[in-house]
């Protein structure tokens, strides 16, 4: 429990009320002895304790306590008027002011027939009794209004919090839609042109040299896949909860390696286990890791041998791509965010990504993605 708000606990509130009422009972007991009610001291103390018990229990506070306290006050008069003031306080807090006034009127009227020694109407006792009762009533009204004000303000704060969150969500959705529209306007048209022109050139493959025709086919396939990926990204931006049915996770790393080999890269692939043995999100992550590693190898180690190892077997999907030393491509443009995005993806899956030199000028990119069952078992 928070050390700042522990005192707001209902149990502590009941304990505090019980302590105050116990103090009142003890005070009534002591006053009865000092004022010459020794013979009635035990009865008076038991009556006060009964009233205090009813006032302490929340279920009896507004139903039984007023009746019991009014009866005892009508008999014992000003000796127990503090307990009647407590009853009026509770009724005022609960917005039962008329009932509180009725209880006071019945108790004072009934006390006219009670023992004269404890009568409120002897001397100036009625003034002190009315003062105590009115103080309890006013204090209860103030406390009730304060509680209702706090509850109202709390509700308004919660409503403002919800409205703020909804406005933020709406702003995010609008921004995602704007980004999706910009990406569509900037990229989709150009990729479509590339796919269109390469398709036209591919139809004239018989008139072109074999290597050129093969490169055109690769370029057309790649551009079509890029358009598919772009549609998936745009769909995710429009609806973050949507799951693309044709996500790149269904593609195999082997096909990616074959494309790289066709583009002239020297790639050796070793796959252990079956792709379906790993979660779909891990297969997508492995695909993206290998794709990024091959792209970096083409940029920074052109012509170097690349070794790709993928292990889908539980308890974890393992991916390792190592390339030797090579020459940097003259047209290489490094965004600097590829590894950052991969590390974020791997971390989100509970895994770890390592990238760095592997000796003799080579570079290694490796990742370990624990399967959900393995993570649960290790917890």
Query: What CATH number corresponds to the domain at position 368?
Result: 3.30.565.10
In a domain, 346, yes or no: yes
pLDDT tens per residue, range 206-235: 667 777 777 777 777 777 777 777 776 666
Structural domain total, the chain:
2
In a domain, 289, yes or no: yes
| pLDDT at residue 37 in the model | 66
As a three-state string, the secondary structure of the chain is: CCCCCHHHCHHHHHHHHHHHHHHHHHHHHHHHHHCCCCCCHHHHHHHHHHHHHHHHCCCCCCCCHHHHHHHHHHHHHHHHHHHHHHHHHHHHHCCCHHHHHHHHHHHHHHHHHCCHHHCCCCCCHHHHHHHHHHHHHHHHHHHHHHHHHHHHHHHHHHHHHHHHHHHHHHHHHHHHHHHHHHHHHHHHHHHHHHHHHHHHHHCCHHHCCHHHHHHHHHHHHHHHHHHHHHHHHHHHHHCCCCCCCCCHHHCCHHHHHHHHHHCCCEEEEEEECCHHHCCHHHHHHHHHHHHHHHHHHHHHCECCEEEEEEECCCCEEEEEEEECCCECCCCCCCCCCHHHHHHHHHHHCCCEEEEEECCCCCEEEEEEEECHHHHHHHC
User: Is the pLDDT at 175 greater than 80, yes or no?
Assistant: no
In a domain, 201, yes or no: no
pLDDT tens per residue, range 306-342: 999 999 888 899 999 998 877 766 554 454 557 777 8
**Beta partners for residue 357, in sequence order:** 363
In a domain, 269, yes or no: yes
For range 263-289, the mean pLDDT: 85
- Range of 275's domain? 259-378
Q: CA 347 to CA 369: how far, in whole Å?
A: 9
In a domain, 32, yes or no: yes
pLDDT tens per residue, range 2-23: 444 555 567 777 877 888 888 8
In a domain, 335, yes or no: yes
In a domain, 52, yes or no: yes
**Please, which pLDDT band fits residue 186 given cuts at 50, 70 and 90?**
low
Average pLDDT over the chain, rounded to an integer:
78
pLDDT tens per residue, range 60-88: 888 888 888 888 888 777 778 888 888 88
Q: CA 345 to CA 93: how far, in whole Å?
A: 56
| pLDDT at residue 278 in the model | 82
Domain stop point among 97, 122, 147: 122
Q: Lowest-confidence range among 56-60, 167-171, 182-186?
A: 182-186
In a domain, 181, yes or no: no
Domain stop point among 93, 122, 151: 122
Domain stop point among 66, 92, 122: 122
Residue carrying the six token digits 């009227």: 109
């Amino acid at each position: 429990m928070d050390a700042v708000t522990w005192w707001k606990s209902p149990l502590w509130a009941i304990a505090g009320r019980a302590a105050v009422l116990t103090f009142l009972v003890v005070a009534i007991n002591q006053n009865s002895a000092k004022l010459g009610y020794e013979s009635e001291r035990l009865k008076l103390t038991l009556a006060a304790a009964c009233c205090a018990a009813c006032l302490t229990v929340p279920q009896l506070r507004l139903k039984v306590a007023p009746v019991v306290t009014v009866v005892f006050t009508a008999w014992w008069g000003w000796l127990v008027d503090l307990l009647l003031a407590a009853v009026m306080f509770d009724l005022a807090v609960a917005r039962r002011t008329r009932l509180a006034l009725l209880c006071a009127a019945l108790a004072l009227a009934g006390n006219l027939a009670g023992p004269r020694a404890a009568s409120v109407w002897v001397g100036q006792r009625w003034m002190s009794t009315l003062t105590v009762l009115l103080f309890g009533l006013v204090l209860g009204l103030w406390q009730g209004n304060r509680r209702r004000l706090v509850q109202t303000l709390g509700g308004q704060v919660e409503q403002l919090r919800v409205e703020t969150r909804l406005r933020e969500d709406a702003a995010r959705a609008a921004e995602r839609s704007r980004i999706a529209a910009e990406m569509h306007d900037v990229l989709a048209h150009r990729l479509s042109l590339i796919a269109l022109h390469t398709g036209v050139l591919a139809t004239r493959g018989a008139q072109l040299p074999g290597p050129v025709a093969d490169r055109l086919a690769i370029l057309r396939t790649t551009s079509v896949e890029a358009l598919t990926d772009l549609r998936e990204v745009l769909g995710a931006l429009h609806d973050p909860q949507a799951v693309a049915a044709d996500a790149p996770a269904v593609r195999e790393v082997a096909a990616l390696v074959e494309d790289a080999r066709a583009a002239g890269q020297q790639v050796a692939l070793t796959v252990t286990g079956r792709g379906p043995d790993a979660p779909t999100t891990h297969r997508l992550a492995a695909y993206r890791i290998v794709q990024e590693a091959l792209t970096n190898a083409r940029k920074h180690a052109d012509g170097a041998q690349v070794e790709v190892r993928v292990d889908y077997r539980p308890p974890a999907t393992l991916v390792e791509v190592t390339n030797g030393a090579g020459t940097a491509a003259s047209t290489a443009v490094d965004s600097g965010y590829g590894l950052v995005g991969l590390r974020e993806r791997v971390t989100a899956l509970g895994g770890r990504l390592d990238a760095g030199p592997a000796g003799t000028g080579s570079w290694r990119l490796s990742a370990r993605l624990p399967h959900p069952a393995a993570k649960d078992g290790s917890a």
